Amino acid sequence: MNSTHDSKIIIALDFKDEASALALVEQLEPSLCRLKVGKELFVRCGPLLVKKLINKGFDVFLDLKFHDIPNTVAAACQAAADMGVWMVNVHACGGRKMMQAANEAIQQSSHKPLLIAVTVLTSLSRQDIAEIGLDIEPAEQVLRLARLARDSGMDGVVCSPQEVKLLKQEIAQDFTLVTPGVRPAGAAIGDQQRIMTPAQALSAGSDYLVIGRPITAAPDPLYAVNNIIKECENI
Ligand code: C5P
């Protein structure tokens, strides 16, 4: 059962074990936020934890960034849909056939998660992508892969808040944009590079904000979530 609320905040549950993840989740409400389960927590705790979160009423973004041959990615997306997740993602550089296969698998499911593509990882510099054979500006590659993702049936992409305006303009206003790299005013930046505040990211057109440490490492996570919600109220 997915929540019927429309929270824009997706909290990244980047924890090493179920107890730590649930200790945070117990303080939250599905009306306030959605939850993201990434590789570390999923590899440690698996689908049972995801189902537990869904049964508590939360929408879950399964952030496993599938990238493999079309048949394998389609089967993994089908499994994610069967698990009942709200959003799942794949790497756009897996190509058109892989994304189309993922989309077909989801369209055939009774429960249809949003299908989101990752374009260029924000950790990759111009030099890093040159080293893997792409002599192109990262921003140009982001736009190319976002177009391919849209044409291959994806609902949207993960992108930096700085890319939101351009992608809404160049792709489509209803193309779902999910943005990490969000830091409330005054929060520690950590290892994120090109950040915006939640209010700035939403004003730019971001549909969902992925926020981890500013909430998970806060002394009072619920207070931190409520502050972010308040900051965004008038947008
Ligand atoms: O703690 P923080 O707010 O930086 O967490 C951001 C979350 O978004 C992490 O789970 C991270 O893996 C994820 N993410 C990201 N940048 C991307 C894609 C995903 O920070 N380009």
At 80-114, the pLDDT tens digits run: 999 999 999 999 999 999 999 999 999 999 999 99
Q: Which atom of ligand 1 is nearest to the CA of 122?
A: 21
Q: What is the pLDDT of residue 192?
A: 78
Can you tell me the distance from the alpha carbon of 52 to that of 46, in angstroms, rounded to the nearest whole number? 11
Q: Yes or no: say if 159 and 209 are a contact pair by the CB < 8 Å rule.
A: no
* Mean pLDDT (whole number) for 156-171: 96
Q: What is the pLDDT of residue 4?
A: 52
- Stated pTM of the model: 0.95
Active site residues: 65
Can you tell me the distance from the alpha carbon of 36 to that of 78, in angstroms, rounded to the nearest whole number? 18
Compute, in angstroms, the gap from residue 113 CA to the centroid of ligand 1. Answer: 20
Which value, to the nearest 10 degrees, does the dihedral of the CA atoms of residues 61, 62, 64, 69 take? -110
Q: What is the pLDDT of residue 143?
A: 97
Can you tell me the distance from the alpha carbon of 90 to that of 48, in angstroms, rounded to the nearest whole number? 21
Give nearest CA residue, ligand 1 atom 21. Answer: 122
Q: What is the pLDDT of residue 204?
A: 96
Question: Which value, in Å, is the radius of gyration of the alpha carbons in the chain?
Answer: 17
Can you spell out the DSSP letters for 99-166? Answer: HHHHHHHHHTSSS--EEEEE-S-TT--HHHHHHTT--S-HHHHHHHHHHHHHHTT-SEEE--GGGHHH
pLDDT for 125-146, tens place per residue?
999 999 999 999 999 999 999 9
Give nearest CA residue, ligand 1 atom 10. Answer: 12
Q: Pick from 107, 141, 105, 106: which is nearest to 122 by CA?
A: 141
Q: What is the pLDDT of residue 2?
A: 46
- Which DSSP category does 88 fall into? E
* Mean pLDDT (whole number) for 25-44: 97
pLDDT for 187-221, tens place per residue?
888 887 778 999 999 999 999 999 999 999 999 99
* Token pair of 112 as six digits: 């249809």
- Asked whether the predicted pLDDT for residue 1 surpasses 50, the reply is no
Q: Which atom of ligand 1 is nearest to the CA of 36?
A: 10
Q: Where are the domains of the chain?
A: 9-232
Please give the C-alpha separations between residue 235 and each of 26, 178, 207, in angstroms, as whole numbers. 28, 17, 12
The residue whose two tokens read 């939101």 is 164
What CATH homologous superfamily does 9-232 map to? Aldolase class I (3.20.20.70)
pLDDT for 10-20, tens place per residue?
999 999 999 99
